[in-house]
Structure formats: C-alpha cells, structure tokens
Amino acid sequence: MNITGQDLIRACSAIGAGLAVIAGIGPGIGQGIAAGYGASAVGRNPGAKGDIMSTMLLGQAVAETTGLYGLLVAMLLLFVKPLG
C-alpha cells in the first residue's frame, strides 16, 4: 500500500464532505413543513396570499442557512484544504 499522508487527508475529506451535507436533512424537513402550512393557510385565506408567501419564504430563507453551512464546509473540504 503506497499511501501518503496527503492521500489520507483527501480520503477523509471525501467522507467528511459526505457527512457535512447530511445536515440538509434538517432544513429539508423544516422547509417542507413550512411549505405545507403555507399552502394550507393560502387555502383558508386566499386574499392574504402575498403576505403568507413572503412570510413563508423569509422564514425558509433563514432555515436554509444551516444547509448552506453544510455545503460550504463540504466545498472547503473538497477544494480548499487539499491546496492548503
């Protein structure tokens, strides 16, 4: 087995990147629930569709952040660290 330390780091980074984006399970469930509540609210009060949708989208945008953190860390593990 002809493996250098740099190879080990990159192999572990590949596993770590896979783990990192699993964080997306959380926002995925949460934002889907938000979409369901939003659609349900529009069905009860179609006149407030604009207000409901902007509230839903704003709340979802905040929930998106932790998913983005996972993507960011995965990207850093794949592209930036092996150069470092």
Per-residue interface string for the shown chain with a copy of itself, residues 45-84, x marking contact by CB under 8 A = xxxxx-xxx-xxxxxxxxxxxxxxxxxxxxxxxxxxxx-x
Q: Cβ of residue 64: shortest distance to a copy of itself, in angstroms?
A: 6
Q: Over the range 42-70, which residues count as b (16 or more CB within 10 Å of their CB) and which as e?
A: beeeeeeeeebeeebeeebeebeeebeeb
Q: Cβ of residue 72: shortest distance to a copy of itself, in angstroms?
A: 7
12-31 binders of a copy of itself (CB under 8 A)? 12-31
| DSSP labels, 27-61 | HHHHHHHHHHHHHHHHHH-GGGHHHHHHHHHHHHH
Q: Cβ of residue 83: shortest distance to a copy of itself, in angstroms?
A: 9
